[in-house]
C-alpha cells in the first residue's frame, strides 16, 4: 500500500476511534471483542500477570498497563490510581515487570497538580514493590504538560518517559530529558497529528527514529527502543555495536500480541526485551490505535461497522 493510502486509512481509523457513537456500535460487535483479545490480556490484573508469567518463561519481561485515558473527574482519576495500587499488589513478587500509565488517566487534562500527586503515589507503591515505572506519551496536545508534570512532580527514582519520533518538537524534548538524566522509551507515535506538529510520511518518521536512537545510544541513560520495525531494530543493534554499547545498556520493547517471534528471538540472542501488556475493560481506543497501524485492518473495521 502506498504511503498516501496508508495515511488516509490510518487517519480514517483514528478518527473513528475518537467518535463516541462509533465506539458504542463497534465495541459491542463480538468480532471486535475477539480481535481485542489478541492485543489485550484480559479484564483483570490477574489476567495480565498470567500473560507476563508466560512471557517471562520465554525470557521477555513485562510492562503492565491498565487501559484508560482522557479521564475528566477526580473520582475517576483516584479510581485509576487505586486500580494501579491493586495491580502492583497482584504483580509484586510474582513476575518480572514494570508498570506504565497514561498521565491523562491520572487527571492531567483538568488538574496537573492532582495528576502529579497521584503519579507520586503510584511511584512510591511501585518502588516499594520493587517494580519499575514508566509513563506513556499521549497526543501532541498533552506533551508539554506531561513533560512539565513529569519533571516537577518530585519523583524519585524518575520513571521512564515515552517520546514520539514523529513530533517536530521531540529532538528538543529529548535533549532536555537527556540533560535531566531521564530514561526514555522511543516510539514512532500512535496518534493522528497534523503536519504542523508531526512528520507525516512513514519513511521520514523512520529516518527520524533512526537518528534519535543513535543519539540515545550515544548519550541517553538506559534507553528503550519500542518498535516492531525490523529495519530499525537492526539499526539499533548496528549502532550499539559501533558505539561500544553492551546488550545490557538498552532494551527493546514491543506490544503484547505483536511480533511474538521477534520478541523471543531477541531475548534468546541476549538482548533485554520487554512486552507491553495492557488489561482492563477500557480497551477500545487502544485497539483502534493498534488496528490503525496496519492498513489491512481497515477492512475489518468496515465489516464491524456494518455488523458482519
Ligand atoms: C512497548 C511500546 C510502547 C509504546 N508506547 C507508546 C506511547 O507511549 N505513545 C505512543 O504514541 N505510541 C506508543 N507506542 C506505539 C508506537 O508509537 C507505534 O504506533 C507502534 O509501535 C507501531 O510502530 P512500529 O515502530 O512498530 O512500526 P510499524 O512500521 O508500524 O510496524 C513494523 C512492523 O510491525 C508489525 N506491526 C506493527 N504494528 C502492528 C499492529 N498493530 N498489528 C500487527 N502488526 C503490527 C508489522 O509487521 C509491521 O510491518 C508504543 C509501542 C510499543 C511497542
Q: Are 10 and 81 part of one and the same domain?
A: no
223 and 132 part of one domain: yes
Note the pLDDT of residue 154. 94
The answer to whether the CB of 282 is under 6 A from ligand 1 is: no
Ligand 1 centre and the CA of 294: distance in Å?
A: 9
Question: For position 239, which CATH number holds?
Answer: 3.20.20.220
Same structural domain for residues 297 and 266? no
* DSSP type of residue 63: E
Phi, psi torsion values for 275, nearest 5 degrees: -110, 135
State the DSSP string of 121-188.
HHHHHHHHTT-EEEE----GGGHHHHHHHHHHS--SSPPEEEEETTBTTHHHHHHHHHHTT--EEEE-
Ligand 1 atom showing the smallest separation from residue 229 Cα? 32
Average pLDDT (74-87) is 98
For 248-269, the pLDDT digits (tens) are 999 999 999 999 999 999 999 9
Question: Is the same domain home to 248 and 111?
Answer: yes
Residue to substitute in 64, 170, 228 for testing ligand 1 pocket (most ligand atoms within 8 angstroms of CB):
228
Crossing angle of the two packed helices 45-57 and 74-91, in degrees rounded to 10: 40
Do residue 11 and residue 97 come from a single domain?
no
How are beta strands 184-187 and 61-66 bridged, if at all?
unpaired
Nearest to 78 by CA among 127, 44, 111: 111
Evaluate if residue 40 carries a pLDDT over 90. yes
Could you tell me if 178 and 191 lie in one domain? yes
Q: Is 190 in the pocket of ligand 1 (CB under 6 A)?
A: yes
SS3 199: coil
Query: Which of the residues are catalytic?
Result: 136, 185
pLDDT value of position 260: 95
Q: Is the dihedral of CA 107, 74, 67, 8 positive or negative?
A: negative
- DSSP 8-state class, residue 69: -
The total of structural domains in the chain comes to: 2
Q: Ligand 1 atom 38: the closest Cα is on which residue? A: 293
- Ligand 1 pocket, 294 CB below 6 A? yes
Nearest residue (by CA) to ligand 1, atom 46, is: 228
pLDDT classification of 169: cutoffs 50, 70, 90: very high
What sign does the CA torsion over 244, 245, 246, 252 have?
Answer: negative
Shared domain check, 254 and 130: yes
**Strands 272-279 and 251-255, sheet pairing:** parallel
Dihedrals phi, psi of 184, to nearest 5 degrees: -125, 160
- The H or E element containing residue 231 is helix 230-242
Q: Is 44 in the pocket of ligand 1 (CB under 6 A)?
A: no
Same domain for 138 and 103? yes
Instruction: Report the separation in Å between the CA atom of 265 and the middle of ligand 1, taken as the mean of its atom positions.
Output: 18
Q: Are residues 87 and 50 in the same domain?
A: yes
- 65: cell is 498497563
SS3 28: coil
Distance 203 CA to ligand 1 centre (A): 14
What predicted TM-score, i.e. pTM, was given to this entire model? 0.93
3-state helix, strand, coil in the chain (%, to 5): 55, 15, 30
Among 164, 227, 253, which residue has the most ligand 1 atoms within 8 Å of its CB, making it the best to mutate? 227
> Could you tell me if the CB of 164 is within 6 A of ligand 1?
yes
Atom of ligand 1 nearest to the CA of 162: 8
- 262 Cβ inside 6 Å of ligand 1: no
156 and 127 within one domain: yes
SS3 for 99? strand
Give the pLDDT confidence score for residue 295 in this predicted structure. 67
C-alpha cell at 308: 458482519
Task: Give, for ligand 1, the residue of 6, 163, 190, 288 to mutate: max count of ligand atoms closer than 8 Å to Cβ.
Answer: 190
CA distance 132 to 201: 34
Q: Which residues fall within 8 angstroms of residue 74, CB to CB, at 6 or more apart?
A: 107, 111, 114
pLDDT band at 299 (very low <50, low <70, confident <90, very high): low
CB 166 near ligand 1, within 6 Å:
no
Q: What is the mean pLDDT of the chain?
A: 92
What's the pLDDT score for residue 292?
83
| Most ligand 1 atoms within 8 A of CB, residue of 188, 266, 290 to mutate | 188
| Category of 181 on φ-ψ map: left (φ > 0), alpha (ψ -120 to 50) or beta | left
Q: What percentage of the chain reaches a pLDDT higher than 70?
A: 91
91 and 172 part of one domain:
yes
Mean pLDDT, rounded, for 149-175: 97
Give distance in angstroms: CA of 289 to centre of ligand 1: 9
Same structural domain, 305 and 267 = no
Q: How far apart are CA 255 and CA 72, in angstroms?
A: 27
**Structural domain boundaries enclosing 33:** 1-40+283-308
Name, in order, each residue with C-beta under 8 angstroms of 269's C-beta and a sequence gap of 6 or more.
Answer: none
Sign (positive/negative) of CA torsion 12, 14, 20, 26? positive
pLDDT for 27 equals 72
Question: Which tops the pLDDT comparison, 13 or 203?
Answer: 203
Instruction: Tell me the per-residue pLDDT of 7-39, one tens digit each, with 9 for 90 and over.
Output: 767 777 777 777 776 776 677 777 777 788 889
Of all protein residues, the one whose alpha carbon is nearest to atom 17 of ligand 1 is: 189
Amino acid at each position: 500500500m502506498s504511503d498516501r493510502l496508508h495515511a488516509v486509512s490510518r487517519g480514517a481509523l483514528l478518527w473513528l476511534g475518537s467518535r463516541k457513537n462509533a465506539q458504542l456500535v463497534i465495541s459491542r460487535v463480538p468480532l471486535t471483542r475477539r480481535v481485542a483479545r489478541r492485543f489485550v490480556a484480559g479484564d483483570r490484573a490477574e489476567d495480565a500477570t498470567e500473560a507476563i508469567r508466560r512471557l517471562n518463561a520465554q525470557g521477555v519481561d513485562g510492562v503492565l498497563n491498565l487501559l484508560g485515558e482522557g479521564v475528566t473527574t477526580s473520582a475517576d482519576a483516584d479510581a485509576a490510581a487505586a486500580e494501579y495500587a491493586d495491580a502492583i499488589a497482584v504483580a509484586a513478587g510474582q513476575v518480572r515487570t514494570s508498570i506504565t500509565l497514561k498521565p491523562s488517566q491520572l487527571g492531567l487534562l483538568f488538574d496537573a497538580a492532582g495528576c502529579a500527586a497521584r503519579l507520586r503515589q503510584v511511584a512510591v507503591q511501585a518502588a516499594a514493590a520493587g517494580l519499575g515505572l514508566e509513563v506513556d506519551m499521549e497526543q501532541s496536545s498533552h506533551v508539554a504538560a506531561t513533560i512539565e508534570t513529569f519533571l516537577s512532580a518530585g519523583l524519585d527514582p524518575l520513571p521512564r518517559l515515552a517520546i514520539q519520533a514523529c513530533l517536530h518538537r521531540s529532538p528538543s524534548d529529548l535533549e532536555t530529558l537527556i540533560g535531566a538524566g531521564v530514561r526514555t522509551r522511543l516510539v514512532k507515535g500512535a496518534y493522528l497529528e497534523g503536519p504542523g506538529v508531526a512528520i507525516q510520511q512513514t519513511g521520514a518518521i523512520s529516518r527520524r527514529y533512526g537518528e534519535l536512537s543513535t543519539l540515545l545510544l550515544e548519550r541517553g541513560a538506559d534507553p528503550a527502543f519500542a518498535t516492531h520495525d525490523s529495519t530499525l531494530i537492526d539499526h539499533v543493534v548496528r549502532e550499539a555495536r559501533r558505539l561500544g554499547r553492551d546488550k545490557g545498556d538498552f532494551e527493546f520493547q514491543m506490544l503484547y500480541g505483536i511480533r511474538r517471534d521477534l520478541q523471543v528471538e531477541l531475548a534468546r540472542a541476549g538482548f533485554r526485551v520487554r512486552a507491553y501488556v495492557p488489561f482492563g475493560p477500557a480497551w477500545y481506543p487502544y485497539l483502534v490505535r493498534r488496528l490503525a497501524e496496519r492498513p489491512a485492518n481497515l477492512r475489518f473495521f468496515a465489516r464491524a461497522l456494518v455488523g458482519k
